Structure 1
Amino acid sequence: MSTSKNRSPRSRWRTLAWLVPAALVAVVAVVLLARWLRDLPAVSAFVADYPGTAPRPADAPEGIPAWLAWQHFFNAFFLVLLVRTGMLIRAGGRQQGHWQRRNTGPLRTKGKPAKISLNLWLHLAVDVLWVLTGISYVVMLLATGQWVRIVPTTWEVFPHAASALLQYASFDWPSSDGWSSYNALQQLAYFVTVFVAAPLSIITGLRMSPAWPKGAGGINRVVPIGVARALHFPVMLYFVAFVVVHVTLVLTTGARENLNHMFAASDDGGWLGVVLFAVSVALMVAAWVLAKPVFTGPVAALTGKVAR
């Protein structure tokens, strides 16, 4: 039985040759269906009653603070590295280096410090930074009241989200002001990403890591290793899909304004956000390229023993 690892490049190109047209046909079909639905009187009235943005609390903060813009960059930067290292780990193959802890600690196998690949070391190291960033992000959300941006406060968020989804699918974007608040579909997507997907990724990743306690029978039954392995990769695919859709909508629904909000924490209509976005993309591309044992080995050597 053949697998994706031993398929020839020609076979992969043949698969891509029919997948791309099929995807385009599916997109066109969805757009036509959405436009047809919006012409129906009942659906048109529904969209008019629920334009896409749910009511928000009267005391909700206005604007995007600078800390939120910085958090956005660091979360995205670490997520890119996590995806990159996760792909390297999943690809397997011959390891170009290993890392071993110098002193005692949780990374031990049969009383000896565990030896892990440099790809796994980088994945775990970046994961720690991503988790710390996420914790500070949630704390700041709660402390400043910005949590209302991504946490629904009314059940009306669901019909508004359905309306926004239909408007996006029909390529007739819902009107929204990202500086003040997100539309209902964005709010639900961010809520799921921050409070469901991220914790699930952390828990399943920790369950598979060498740092997980080996003798914790009770907690092991709560989070079985088989479940962790089955969920961790699909959660990563969710993050990839979220980023692709998120970036696409940011660039197609008013790129300069959106990027100025997200990266410059400003609503002045300037170009600083675009410049900062370009710099952040360059840094992410550089991190993607440099996430190799030949570059990460010297850094890993600062925290343990590295063997080629």
Structure 2
Amino acid sequence: MSTTKNKSGTAKGKRSRLYWTVPAVLVAAVLVVLLAKWATGLSGVQSFLTDYPGHSELPEGAPVGFPAWLGWQHFLNAFLLLLIIRTGWQVRTTTRPGGYWTRNNKGLIKTKNAPTKISLELWFHLTLDALWILNGLVFAVLLFATGQWMRIVPTSWDVFPNALSAALQYASLDWPTENGWVNYNALQLLAYFATVFIAAPLSFITGLRMSAAWPKKAAGLNRAFPIEAARAVHFPVMVYFVGFIVVHVFLVLATGALRNLNHMYAASDDAGWAGVWIFAASVAVMVAAWFLARPLFLRPIASLMGKVTSR
């Protein structure tokens, strides 16, 4: 009886915090908008916004527009990242795994010790990680080979005051002019840079540190990078990715959905519907993958790479 009461009390406590969190966030958002509108009405701030309109000039020779490969990369990154976040949360919260997977200790890779048994959820998470990293390497090679890196790597210090300017414009609801086909605003540039060159590598290296692939006997390396530090960073990075996705999708749809989706998926700068239909198809694929990523469907695939058991 006491256990039931404790669980009921915990559930009520969580709901109570949720009830208070939603209005608190709304009130905070209103206050931010009002403060930003007041600030942008000041003569000094208006002068700052004039001097720094919200975007930095790109280096000479920077490409204009988006190649088709970037659209495919965008879909693959979104697809894999969505499932990585889902499986990462499952690994963190699942108490009764849907099965267990053990690598076959034969073939090209052999070890003296018995292979480690891991949950089916962790196996899927690590498999998705490997695919995401492979896709990321292809993305990085193409990014630097085609010059697209110049669009998401800061090359001037004025990116920081311009990012502050863009943030003030967003917060005051007088949003900066969007022209992503040619140049991102400075806040977008910094966000994309942080996601590609900071958050993604952090996610990879901390995940690797917590995996069985990390060398256990490298005492000096393990002291320099303890597993506790990796755990402390890995989850916040996942939270960052969730926040980035939410804000990114919202702004794509709120700042000219047709044109933005054509940029991202149809490699064109018009306001047609091609990008919308491709985006809709990609969402359908992601939704299907979300619901199919269950033990019933994962076990046959996992069994091709190792031994799957119920315990």
TM-score by length of 1: 0.95
Offset of 1:264 from its aligned partner? 1.0
Q: Is the 8 A contact 2:105 2:114 kept in 1?
A: no
Paired AA for residue 71 in structure 1? Q
- Distance in structure 1 (CA, Å) of the matches to 2:309 and 2:146: 46
Partner of 1:42: 44
1:149 match: 151
Aligned to 2:239: 237
Give yes or no for contact 1:152–1:188 (8 Å, CA) kept in 2: yes
Q: Secondary structure at the match of 1:15?
A: helix
User: Is the Cα–Cα contact under 8 Å of residues 84 and 291 in structure 1 kept in the other structure?
Assistant: no
Deviations 1:247-284 (A, max 9, x none): 11111111111011011111122111111111111221
Whichever residue aligns with residue 183 of structure 1, its letter is N
Structure-2 separation of matches of 1:216 and 1:294: 38
* Structure 2: distance between partners of 1:90 and 1:268: 43
Pairwise CA distance, 1:213: 1.2
Question: Aligned AA for 2:198?
Answer: V
Deviation track 1:173-215 (CA, whole Å, cap 9, x = no partner) reads 1013111121110000010111111000000001001111111
Relative to structure 1, is the Cα distance of residues 145 and 245 closer, same or farther in structure 2, using a 3 angstrom cutoff? same
Alpha-carbon distance, 1:238 to partner = 0.4
The CA deviation at 1:218 is 2.3
Instruction: Show the counterpart of 1:19.
Output: 21
Separation of aligned partners in 1, 2:76 and 2:110: 27
Distance 2:160 2:151 in 1: 15
Change (3 A) 1:107 1:230: farther
* Aligned counterparts of 1:279 and 1:88: Cα–Cα separation in 2: 26
2:283 is aligned to: 281
In structure 2, the gaps of 5 or more residues are: none
Aligned pairs for 1:203-218 (under 5 A) are 203-218=205-220
2 CA distance for matches of 1:70 and 1:96?
32
3-state SS of 1:123 partner: helix
- Backbone CA RMSD of aligned residues: 1.7
Distance 1:265 1:191 in 2: 21
Pick the aligned partner of 1:201 from 197, 200, 203. 203
Aligned AA (1:12): K
Matches of 2:16 and 2:227 in 1, distance apart? 36
Residue in structure 2 matched with residue 172 of structure 1 by the alignment: 174
* SS of residue in 1 equivalent to 2:34: helix
CA contact (8 A) 1:53 1:176 kept: no
| 1:258 equivalent in structure 2 | 260
Paired residue secondary structure (1:305): strand
The residue type equivalent to 1:155 in the other structure is W
Mapped to 2, the partners of 1:146 and 1:261 lie a distance apart of: 14
Shift of residue 8, structure 1, vs aligned partner: 4.2
1:106 Cα deviation (Å)? 7.2
1:126 paired residue among 119, 125, 128: 128
Report how far residue 12 of structure 1 moved: 2.5
Q: Are residues 49 and 123 of structure 1, via their aligned partners in 2, closer, same or farther at CA, if it must alter by over 3 Å?
A: same
8 Å contact from structure 1 (residues 101, 114) kept in 2:
yes
Partner of 2:187: 185
Please, which runs of 5 or more residues in structure 1 have no aligned partner?
none
Counterpart position of 2:308: 306
Inter-partner Cα distance in structure 1 for 2:290 and 2:19: 27
Percent pairwise identity:
60
Give the number of equivalent residue pairs. 304
* Residue-by-residue CA offset, 1:280-300 (whole Å, 9 max, x unaligned): 112212222222222211111
Deviation digits for residues 209-229 of structure 1 (CA, Å, limit 9, x no counterpart): 111111112221222101001
Question: Separation in 2 of the partners of 1:29 and 1:211?
Answer: 48
Deviates more, 1:285-294 or 1:169-178: 285-294
Deviation at 1:30, TM superposition (A): 0.3
Q: Which runs of 4+ in 1 moved over 6 A?
A: 105-108
C-alpha spacing 1:39/1:201, structure 2 compared with 1 (3 Å): same
Write the mapping of 1:32-181 to structure 2, written as runs, cut at 5 A.
Answer: 32-104=34-106, 111-181=113-183
